[in-house]
Amino acid sequence: MSTSAEPTTAPAADEPPVVTFRDLGLGEPVLKALSDVGYETPSAIQAATIPTLLGGRDVVGLAQTGTGKTAAFALPILDRLDLTQKTPQALVLAPTRELALQVCEAFEKYAARTKGVHVLPVYGGQGYGVQLSALRRGVHVIVGTPGRIMDHLDKGTLDLSELKYLVLDEADEMLKMGFAEDVETILADTPDTKQVALFSATMPAAIRRMSKQYLNDPEEITVASKTTTSSTITQRYLIVSYQQKIDALTRILEVENFEAMIVFARTKSATEEVAEKLRARGYSAAAINGDVAQIQRERTVNQLKSGKLDILVATDVAARGLDVERISHVVNFDISTDTESYVHRIGRTGRAGRTGDAISFVTPRERGLVNAIERATRQPLTQMQLPSVDEVNVTRLSRFDDGITAALGETERIDRFRDIVAHYVRHHDVPEVDVAAALAVVAQGETPLLLEPDPEPRARAPREDRFDRGDRDRGDRGDRGFDRGDRPDRRPRNPNMTTYRIAVGKRHRVEPRQIVGALANEGGLSRGDFGAIQIRPDFSLVELPNDLPQSTLDRLSDTRISGKAIEIRVDTGGPSRRPREGGNDRFDRDDRPPRKPRHRDGA
């Protein structure tokens, strides 16, 4: 393989050699599944963690969502499962039902080529029946929230006596949600011989202590980062949901003054899909990835160099070493899983002394990666907003003008048309400007010149009126946050929500996250089901969907927070009708239902 024949893959001097999943020691079925899902190379956390776990050592990994940590622990587990063992071999603890389900899906995806692997999600809110019958049939991997796993252990319905692998995913989140005790009990009550992998985005003292006490000489893995971004590259990021990415990219293509662009996607299939969608929208775009034959890749890169092609959609591997001066912009359609790959990617622009632009799409859950990149590159990333319809239209109009100006410069061709147009004007008695407009219609075809205005945005609370739940909670579902408790009244803003009252408040030292944790896990609610939460001195108000089934309410009524039964009921706005424990009447009197919105601190 000569270097000259491989212009797109030959690593530049500043790039390390490519490590493959095969190099990490994974077996065939898992490798096949990875090839099916289109991962080309391991992310940094995967490259560091997988061999260690395969070698049998415990791991403490400092990694957040978006780094590929799920595969980092799931792949070595799947690789070593004994499919003849009936009792559970691997247990993954996750802070929320949402994450537990995601991890389950990931396991299933990676196990697609391993026949007969059974993975079971176990979380509060789901009926015990389903879980019990699955457990009886035999499962290999359990992914669950600590509360429900503890319930099964207490009931004797879960046998962890032969557990081989235990993973604590998002350990810091689990502690924040009040699961420390449950997690420690599970750690202590499972075989000493098990291998433990603990992943956490931060390393507070409690986690350090836990890992010292329960892990056996763990290898600490923090992905080292390279710090050589060029200051001639302007770095921006856009918070965007997965579904909005293509629209966001097309708007950026409209308003950015780019010459040539590389768009990075995580998987081979994503490169094809994005390139296809861009072509459908009239851009000259092509995909390169590990599956594209070398000769075709070279042809594509040459087209980019010569200006026949403007947009290349690539995976990391396919774009290694790419050196094309025309590349003015790099767009991370999927943000890099680690800072090192980020640095390599954006180094594809700003070549040969030019300036460059890098724009990264970041989903709300991946927000933490921006800080990691800033820390590693020691350069700030500026948050940008999605270009508005007005901005797009202004650019379209100025391009339209530029088109006319450029055509007027082609004097010979203009001369030939001038007589034809003049003839039309004379014979049809139409003003010249109308004829020009008619010609524009012909030139424009069916596609409208200007974008329609965006629909009115949903009325929402101002940003600072909301309790910040952290990245994961904002989710891709829209930005629903929690009030800090300073709402003037108790009516939910959203007509689909009902305000419930629970009998724990400031006096019981509860915090919104505990309420969410408890209700989500016990009621089987997703975090997106929560509206505003107001914590009052003696009770709290929680907005939940109107249509909560009675069975959910029944389950919730048994829930305890900080040891106290929550006695959930629909809030009528009035003082508690139940006999209260002594001494707290004065708080409730203070909390009479408002006749009209009041502006006072709810506490």
Token representation of residue 174: 């689990």
Residues 247-266 that bind ligand AMP (CB under 6 A): 266
525 within 8 A of 125, measured Cβ to Cβ: yes
Build a one-symbol-per-residue string for 329-358: x at contacts with ligand AMP by CB under 6 A, - elsewhere: --------x---------------------
Q: What is the dihedral of CA 553, 557, 561, 565, to 10 degrees?
A: 160
Build a one-symbol-per-residue string for 549-568: x at contacts with ligand AMP by CB under 6 A, - elsewhere: --------------------
Q: Residue 69 CA to chain centroid, in angstroms?
A: 13
Cβ distance to ligand AMP smaller for residue 289 or 576? 289
Handedness of CA 565, 568, 574, 579 (dihedral sign): negative
70 near ligand AMP, judged by CB under 6 A: yes
Compute the least distance from the CB of residue 337 to ligand AMP, in Å. 6
68 near ligand AMP, judged by CB under 6 A: yes
Cβ distance to ligand AMP smaller for residue 39 or 587? 39
Report d(CA 314, CA 288) in Å as an integer: 5
E strands in 140-296: 141-144, 165-168, 195-200, 219-222, 233-239, 260-264, 285-288
67 near ligand AMP, judged by CB under 6 A: yes
| Residue 492, SS3 per DSSP | coil
66 near ligand AMP, judged by CB under 6 A: yes
69 near ligand AMP, judged by CB under 6 A: yes
Cβ distance to ligand AMP smaller for residue 43 or 52? 43
Which residues, other chains included, contact 68 with Cβ-Cβ below 8 Å and sequence gap of 6+?
A: 42, 43, 45, 46, 337, 338
Compute the least distance from the CB of residue 397 to ligand AMP, in Å. 39
Compute the least distance from the CB of residue 110 to ligand AMP, in Å. 10
Judged by CB under 6 A, the stretch of 60-68, 294-302, 437-445, 579-587 that binds ligand AMP is: 60-68
| Residue 154, SS3 per DSSP | helix
Residues 21-50 that bind ligand AMP (CB under 6 A): 39, 42-43, 46
Judged by CB under 6 A, the stretch of 1-9, 62-70, 139-147, 428-436 that binds ligand AMP is: 62-70
Compute the least distance from the CB of residue 42 to ligand AMP, in Å. 5
**Could you tell me which of 517, 475, 526, 528 has the C-alpha nearest to residue 148?**
517
Helices (H) and strands (E) in the chain — how many of each? Answer: 21, 22
Build a one-symbol-per-residue string for 219-238: x at contacts with ligand AMP by CB under 6 A, - elsewhere: --------------------
Burial of 170 (0-12, 13-18, 19+ CB in 10 A): buried
Residues 5-24 that bind ligand AMP (CB under 6 A): none
The contact set with ligand AMP (CB under 6 A) reads: 39, 42-43, 46, 65-71, 266-267, 337
